[in-house]
């Protein structure tokens, strides 16, 4: 049973990432991994850095993965992936293994990508290995108990950037990882969100099919760390996209393309007010965030219009 009519479109029934994992109730990251695994298919090797998805999917002696899977440290997911890719290439060249076009996919959280694993990632992108790097961004170190990372947005309260009388919460802006990946001049960079599941699967499939390095940044809501009800995980993802906080776009060989044609952005307040981690924000701070979001979004629109690609209607 390769394909069957499934949901609103035709989506494969293949499930390389199986149920029974120990993710929290309502985890959008587990959903993102499941959808990405469907798009990657069976002919792949997964390199998984330490993080939520490694911990919940492989408590010894169980595993949720039906495909080969390696656990790496926080910092070297990209380095191990490039080693696996180079090793496979070399063995195929020497005839020690048949040519099967095996894809190598590295998975890491936002801490493993934008803080600890950035150096290894930059090296792997620069060397041009044929692999896909997927960053599962839940905007803090959720696995160890909600510590801030450089991907945590401005104003968010975490255990290491707590909000209080004298403190605003996180005082730095979110690191723009996709822009860093684009700066390496790689063939494919995209941002995705599990709330837009078909878009996510399309982008991961495209990244896997691209020769050379590809980077996909996936924002996934975390009800535990974002302090929101579990059923809001998908809704919050939609709002993140519609408010312009996390715009969906792809960059093919330097050409920007926005995937959703948002004629008018929703106010950022709608997105912030759904989450407990932003509960302490005052109107002034929300206004400040709104200005920054609009500015960043306009920058992106300008880049996209320069590339001449038109966004498809929403």
Distance CA 273, CA 250 (A): 28
Distance CA 218, CA 268 (A): 19
- Tell the smallest beta-carbon distance from residue 138 to another protein (Å): 13
**230: which DSSP letter?**
G
Asked if 284 and 234 touch (Cβ cutoff 8 Å), the reply is no
Distance CA 61, CA 63 (A): 7
Distance CA 130, CA 188 (A): 11
User: Which C-beta is closer to another protein: that of 21 or that of 257?
Assistant: 21
- Tell the smallest beta-carbon distance from residue 209 to another protein (Å): 22
Nearest to 290, CA basis, from 304, 311, 274, 270: 270
User: Which C-beta is closer to another protein: that of 11 or that of 265?
Assistant: 11
CA torsion through residues 121, 112, 51, 296, sign: negative
State the binding string over 197-226 for another protein (x if CB under 8 A, else -). Answer: x-------------------------x---
Distance CA 160, CA 147 (A): 5
Residues 3-62 that bind another protein (CB under 8 A): 6-8, 11, 15, 18-21, 23-28, 30-31, 34
User: Which C-beta is closer to another protein: that of 84 or that of 200?
Assistant: 200
- Tell the smallest beta-carbon distance from residue 2 to another protein (Å): 16
- Tell the smallest beta-carbon distance from residue 72 to another protein (Å): 24
193 binds another protein (CB under 8 A): no
User: Which C-beta is closer to another protein: that of 232 or that of 252?
Assistant: 232
The residue length of the chain stands at 314
Residues at the interface with another protein (CB under 8 A): 6-8, 11, 15, 18-21, 23-28, 30-31, 34, 197, 223, 229-235
């Amino acid at each position: 049973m390769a394909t069957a009519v499934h949901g609103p479109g035709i989506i494969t029934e293949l499930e390389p990432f199986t149920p029974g994992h120990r993710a929290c109730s309502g985890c959008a990251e587990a959903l993102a991994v499941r959808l990405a695994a469907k798009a990657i298919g069976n002919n792949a090797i997964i390199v998984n850095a330490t993080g939520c998805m490694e911990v919940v999917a492989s408590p010894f002696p169980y595993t949720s993965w039906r495909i080969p899977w390696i656990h790496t440290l926080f910092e070297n997911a990209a380095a191990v992936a490039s080693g696996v890719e180079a090793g496979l290439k070399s063995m195929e060249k020497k005839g020690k293994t048949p040519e099967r076009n095996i894809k190598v996919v590295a998975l890491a959280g936002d801490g493993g990508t934008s803080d600890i694993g950035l150096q290894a990632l930059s090296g792997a992108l620069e060397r041009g290995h044929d692999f896909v790097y997927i960053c599962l961004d839940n905007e803090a170190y959720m696995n160890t108990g909600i510590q801030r990372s450089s991907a945590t947005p401005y104003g968010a309260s975490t255990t290491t950037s707590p909000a209080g009388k004298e403190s605003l919460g996180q005082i730095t802006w979110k690191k723009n990882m996709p822009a860093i990946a684009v700066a390496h001049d790689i063939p494919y960079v995209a941002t995705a969100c599990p709330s837009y599941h078909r878009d996510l699967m399309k982008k991961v499939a495209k990244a896997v099919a691209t020769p050379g390095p590809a980077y996909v940044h996936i924002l996934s809501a975390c009800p535990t760390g974002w302090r929101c009800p579990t059923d809001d995980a998908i809704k919050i993802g939609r709002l993140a996209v519609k408010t312009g906080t996390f715009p969906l776009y792809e960059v093919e060989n330097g050409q920007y393309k926005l995937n959703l044609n948002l004629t008018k952005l929703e106010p950022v307040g709608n997105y912030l007010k759904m989450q407990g981690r932003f509960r302490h924000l005052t109107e002034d701070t929300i206004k400040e965030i709104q200005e920054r979001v609009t500015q960043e979004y306009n920058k992106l629109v300008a880049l996209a219009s320069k590339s001449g690609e038109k966004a498809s209607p929403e």
